[in-house]
């Protein structure tokens, strides 16, 4: 499972490098400095913004240097083994700072909290506090417990918590793109995935609060929102309409909002607000959602639709609840209803008992779809998952690596193919800022989520839309010039 939106055309480590998150102090400062470092998916980075908001209200000021911090939090990802190794190594670095500042509080947030709390707290004594994704409101109390000389833990999962009433502090923001969480948890029990155990059951956020947050972002100058959920297509909210509010969908006092309805509601905030979303599930994405995307120009023509495997037997033991034919049906529907829509995916090679022939079905699926981008991984067994309990991780490492190399090469071919097809076309691009390589070039993303580089023009600035004629391309980037 992954929700990272910047998808390269090569093998991608879904655990992003830790990023220190910086915010302006809110309200009265308490003299203590906070350092937050996040790893993993977009949901983790969004959660860190919630944590920052909660602690900013208590007077914490942030710092970009953990050596100067009074409280250090690392927001963790538990999807793959290398993520845990990286986090543990980072905690050992923090231990050095704590040795120099014994009053420092070090804590672990997020997906590793429940499964590894005993190791972190007792066996390795690397942290003072462990907090799960549904317990962030308790952070001020837990820090107070640590200040009193006790280690603290809260990893309780909730069936209700959505943090809908908390206005996230936009961390390290460019003021143009923002994540908006629309739901939490997951009810799918994919046999390889830890998310249902680390983030709990699925619950959808109040539709009113989602739209209000998007309106507020637009009013503050943001021009693109990405609606986040482990499975956005299963979003479903029903509730009482606020007094005087317009109906959100068919109905009077009680309104049921599905994902297609929510997409439309956010798109109607303003035609100048781009709308993206992640992640979709093949079993749940409906023609209604596709028609909604096609209806509104500001809903981006880009869908991340994880396939994981192209073989029906492997999909069955992965507990993906669809087969090869169902997935192809959804791909055909996307191509029919949204011509030109970019499609990306997730692929796992070397899953338990996978044969060469079954791996070839994944290769042939890639040939059928010709994905624009892909996240590609070799299977890594995660303790506590259904696969770990039911199946032996029996594919030799060298075979996993060989199969992975094959699909990486295949995807590089198709990523370049998709990019080449854009040459000579005009792309509508939202300027995000300067290119990483030169302040003489702007960068931004196309409707199809491709990175576009073009010379700076004094007539345009970040946050504005421009039309860019694509003149050449690499396998990952479109390069062109602004046209009027």
pLDDT score of 81? 66
SS3 track for the chain: CCCCCCCCCCCCCCCEEEEEECCCCCCCCCCCEEEEEEEECHHHHHHHHHHHHHHHCCCCEECCCHHHCCEEEEEECCCCHHHHHHHHHHHHHHHHHHHHCCCCEEEEEECCHHHHHHHHHHHCCCCCEEECCCCHHHHHHHHHHHHCCCCEEECCCCCCCCCCCCCCCCCCCCCCEEEEECEECCCCCCCCCCHHHHHCCCEECCHHHHHHHHHHHHHCCCCEEEEECCCHHHCEEEEECCCCCCCCCCCCCEEEEEHHHHHHHHHCCCCCCEEEEECCCCCCCCHHHHHHHHHCCCECCEEECCCECCCHHHHHHCCCCCCHHHHHHHHHHHHHHCCCCEEEEEEEECCCCCCHHHHHHHHHHHHHHCCCEEEEEECCCCCCCHHHHHCCCCCCHHHHHHHHHHHHHHHHHHHHHHHHCCCCCEEEEEEEEECCCCCCEEEEECCCCCEEEEECCCCCCCCCEEEEEEEEECCCEEEEEEEC
pLDDT score of 335? 98
Express each pLDDT in 14-44 by its tens digit.
334 455 444 443 445 667 999 999 887 888 8
Q: What token pair was written down for 148?
A: 């009193």
Q: Is the dihedral of CA 85, 90, 96, 101 positive or negative?
A: negative
pLDDT score of 163? 87
Determine the Cα–Cα distance for residues 453 and 430; give it in Å rounded to an integer: 11
Task: Using 70 as the pLDDT threshold, list the residues of the chain that sit under it.
Answer: 1-30, 79-82, 123-124, 171-172, 240-254
Q: Of 417, 420, 429, 418, which is closest to residue 453 (Cα–Cα)?
A: 429
- The terminus-to-terminus CA distance of the chain in angstroms comes to 41
pLDDT score of 417? 96
Cα 110 from chain centre: 14
| Integer-rounded Cα radius of gyration of the chain | 23
Cα 211 from chain centre: 19
- Hey, what domains does the chain have and what are their CATH numbers? 16-154 (3.40.50.12160), 173-300 (3.30.750.210), 334-421 (3.30.750.200), 426-483 (2.40.50.140)
pLDDT score of 108? 92
Determine the Cα–Cα distance for residues 255 and 84; give it in Å rounded to an integer: 42
Q: Is the peptide bond before 355 cis (omega within 30 degrees of 0)?
A: no
Contacts of 287 (CB under 8 A, 6+ apart): 333, 337
Express each pLDDT in 85-112 by its tens digit.
788 889 889 988 888 888 999 999 988 8
Express each pLDDT in 384-420 by its tens digit.
899 999 999 999 999 999 999 999 999 999 999 999 9
């Amino acid at each position: 499972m992954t929700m990272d939106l910047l998808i390269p055309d090569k093998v991608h480590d879904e655990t992003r490098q830790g990023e220190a998150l910086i915010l302006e102090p809110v309200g009265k400062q308490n003299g203590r400095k906070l350092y937050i470092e996040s790893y993993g998916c977009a949901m983790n980075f969004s959660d860190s913004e919630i944590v920052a908001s909660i602690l900013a209200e208590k007077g914490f000021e942030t710092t970009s240097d953990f050596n100067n911090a009074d409280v250090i939090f690392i927001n963790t990802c538990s999807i793959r083994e290398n993520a845990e190794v990286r986090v543990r190594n980072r905690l050992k670095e923090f231990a050095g700072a704590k040795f120099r500042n014994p009053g420092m509080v070090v804590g672990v947030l997020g997906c590793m909290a429940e499964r590894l709390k005993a190791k972190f707290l007792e066996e390795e004594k690397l942290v003072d506090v462990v907090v799960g994704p549904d317990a962030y409101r308790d952070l001020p109390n837990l820090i107070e417990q640590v200040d009193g000389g006790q280690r603290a833990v809260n990893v309780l999962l909730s069936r209700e918590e959505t943090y809908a009433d908390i206005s996230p502090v936009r961390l390290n923001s460019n003021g143009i793109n923002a994540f908006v969480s629309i739901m939490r948890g997951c009810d799918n029990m994919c046999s390889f995935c830890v998310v249902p155990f680390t983030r709990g059951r699925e619950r959808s956020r109040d539709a009113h609060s989602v739209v209000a947050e998007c309106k507020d972002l637009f009013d503050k100058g943001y021009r693109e929102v990405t609606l986040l959920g482990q499975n956005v297509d299963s979003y479903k909210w029903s509730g009482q309409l606020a007094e005087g509010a317009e109906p959100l969908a068919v109905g009077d006092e009680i309104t049921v909002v599905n994902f297609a309805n929510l997409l439309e509601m956010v798109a109607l905030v303003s035609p100048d607000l781009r709308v993206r979303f992640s992640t979709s599930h093949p079993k749940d994405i409906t023609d209604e959602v596709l028609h909604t995307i096609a209806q509104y120009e500001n809903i981006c023509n880009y869908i991340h639709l994880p396939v994981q495997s192209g073989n029906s037997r492997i999909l069955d033991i992965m507990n993906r609840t669809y087969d090869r034919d169902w997935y192809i049906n959804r791909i055909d529907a996307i191509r029919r209803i949204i011509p030109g829509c970019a499609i990306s995916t997730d692929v796992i090679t070397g899953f338990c008992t996978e044969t060469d022939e079954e791996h070839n079905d994944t290769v042939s699926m890639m040939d059928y779809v010709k994905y624009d981008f892909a996240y590609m991984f070799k299977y890594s067994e995660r303790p506590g998952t259904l696969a770990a309990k039911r199946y032996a991780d029996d594919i030799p490492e060298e075979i996993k690596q060989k199969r992975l190399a094959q699909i990486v090469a295949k995807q590089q071919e198709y990523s370049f193919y998709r990019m080449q097809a854009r040459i000579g076309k005009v792309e509508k691009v939202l300027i995000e800022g300067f290119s990483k390589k030169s302040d003489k070039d702007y960068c931004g993303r196309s409707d199809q989520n491709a990175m576009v580089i073009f010379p700076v023009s004094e007539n345009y600035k970040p946050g504005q839309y421009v039309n860019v004629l694509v003149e050449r391309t690499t396998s990952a980037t479109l390069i062109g010039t602004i046209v009027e």
